Homo-oligomer: A and B are copies of this chain.
Amino acid sequence: MSLLVVGSVAFDAIETPLGKVDRTLGGAASYFALAASHFTPVRVVAIVGDDFKDEHKAIFRGRKIDLSGLEHAAGKTFFWSGRYSQNMNERTTLTTELNVFADFNPTLPEPYLNSSHVFLGNIAPKLQRSVLKQVRGKPKVVGLDTMNYWIDGANSDLRETLKHVQILTINDDETRQLTGEHNLLHAAKQVFKMGPKILIVKRGEYGALMVHPNFIFSVPAFPLEEVKDPTGAGDSFAGGFMGYLASEGSLSEHALRRAMVYGSVMGSFTVESFGVERLAKVKRAEIRARARRFSKLTAFKL
């Protein structure tokens, strides 16, 4: 199966209590693609500026990542900088320079049009919908991520886009903001009315919760001795999740549960280093080993 992702490719400057890094490769689509490519071929739709060089592209090379949909525009690449609090639970955005991303109007190359799985990363709901419209026929699975900015400022557009989505992956606060419900099970029922039939609530250091009309599944975050940089954990989760689903080609309960675990596995690697460093280097055997450690972390016999 073929997985298309649209989202940001960016440069990030990140400061955490354990260090800092300047202008490292970031953006939701970068984390997503690197995570997903361990499971299935990924097609990236994004935009970068003329400061995006071969050395940056090289990070994606040698993987099943198709960059023919990565548009190069005159100007600078999207730049974000942020600082994490002492306990890494809060982060302050210091700079957001949209640059070439401000005029992003995603166009899918011909070979992308038959994508069976589509992930609409956190961009304007209108653009998410335009990507979806370009895909030929009806994709088998569509996932979507969004944020408070769009829930608040482009609500009706978002609602329109959600009608075409099966899987919504957002965090606790976004879930509550979108539905007006504090209780996540009640919130899920509201989400189901909007279109998606699967809600995944990302809960940072507490893991993730999947609410499906027929079952609920909870996966913890992997307890690590050192979290260096939480940036991209959620996007890596989404990449591992969608990548695994695309590789299975099924939305069976078993596949969905395993996809949640592989999403968490990929997120856990990402936070072990700054930027995509660890994620870009992780080996298949390490992924399998960590998935087994998730089993040990949660298994019990009654």
A interface residue numbers (CB < 8 A to B):
86-87, 182-186, 203, 206-207, 209, 211, 215-220, 223-227, 254, 257-258, 260-261, 291-292, 295-302
Main secondary structure of the interface of A (DSSP, over half): mixed
Given contacts A258-B301, A300-B260, A302-B295, whether A220 and B223 have CB atoms under 8 Å apart is no
| CA distance in complex: A225, B258 (Å) | 25
Q: Name 11 A/B residue pairs within 8 A (Cβ), A-sorted.
A: A183-B225, A206-B206, A206-B207, A207-B218, A216-B297, A217-B298, A217-B300, A218-B220, A218-B223, A261-B302, A295-B300
Chain B nearest Cβ from A294, distance in angstroms: 8
Within the assembled complex, what's the spacing in Å between the Cα atoms of A184 and B216?
Answer: 27
Contact between chains at A298 and B218 (CB < 8 Å): yes
* Residues of B contacting A261 in the complex (Cβ-Cβ under 8 angstroms): 300, 302
Give the Cβ gap from A70 to chain B, nearest Cβ, in Å: 33
Residues of B contacting A217 in the complex (Cβ-Cβ under 8 angstroms): 297-298, 300
For residue A211, which residues in chain B have a CB less than 8 angstroms away from its CB? 223
**How many identical subunits does the complex contain?**
2
In the complex formed, the residue of B with least CB distance to A301 is B254
Q: Chain B residues near A86 (CB, 8 Å)?
A: 182
Whether A302 contacts B297 by the Cβ 8 Å rule is no
Minimal Cβ-Cβ distance residue in B for A257: B300
Residues of B within 8 A of A224 (CB): 183, 185
Chain B residues within an 8 Å CB radius of A182: 86-87
Least CB distance from A187 to B in Å reads 11
Pair A183/B218 contact, Cβ less than 8 Å: no
Q: Are B298 and A298 within 8 A (Cβ)?
A: yes
**Structural contact, A302 and B298, CB atoms closer than 8 A:** no
- Sort A-B residue pairs by CB-CB distance and give the 5 closest, nearest first: A257-B300, A218-B220, A206-B206, A298-B298, A87-B182
Instruction: Report how far A295 CA is from B223 CA in the complex, Å.
Output: 20
CB distance A299 to B257 under 8 Å?
yes
Please state if B296 and A302 are interface contacts (CB–CB under 8 Å). Answer: no
> Considering only CB atoms, which chain B residue lies closest to A297 in the complex?
B218
Question: How many angstroms from the CA of A297 to the CA of B296 in the assembled complex?
Answer: 15
CA distance A235 to B225 in the complex (A): 28
Task: Check B220–A185 contact: CB distance below 8 A.
Answer: no
- Closest Cβ–Cβ distance, residue A240 to chain B (whole Å): 13
A63 to B299 CA separation, bound complex (whole angstroms): 31
Name the CB-closest residue of B to A86.
Answer: B182
Which of chain B's residues has its CB closest to A176's CB? B87
